[in-house]
Amino acid sequence: MPTRIATTQAPAAVGPYSQGVSAADAPGSLVFVSGQVPLDPATGALVDGGIAAQAEQSLKNVGAILAEAGLGYEHVVKTTVLLADIADFAAVNEVYARYFTGEVLPARAAFGVAALPLGAGVEIEAIAVRP
């Protein structure tokens, strides 16, 4: 039975969805982390500092949800990166590369989109697997 993952260390969901969902607690089961925009969980506001700072905060939010599920970035098998401006790909990729460093990196898709919630420049979602 799926279970909801929720933490105050990441922004609360801004709609009818969960921060994350665990398919099961058994080894090999999947954990789905909803797309994280660069909101500071303490203030609820978008972070300042440009696209690199936004990517950093989005990844920190993903990490907080993973941690609540007892997982880390090394358990991530797939990510999706949404960019309000595809020209920001290189800057976001540079930040992303600091979080995913193992021998087996997650599969990934990156898309340029017309707009993101709350005027964010980036949104990142992840799928992890329980060891």
pLDDT in tens, 75-126: 999 999 999 999 999 999 999 999 999 899 999 999 999 999 999 999 999 9
Reported as a pLDDT band with limits 50, 70 and 90, residue 68 is: very high
Strands (E), the chain: 3-5, 20-22, 30-36, 76-83, 107-112, 122-129
Give exposure, 55-85, as e/b (b: 16+ Cβ within 10 Å): bbbbbbbbbbbbebbebebebbeebbbbbbe
- What does pTM read for this prediction? 0.97
Q: What is the pLDDT of residues 3-49, one digit of tens each?
A: 999 999 999 987 899 999 999 999 999 999 999 999 999 999 999 99
pLDDT score at 14: 78
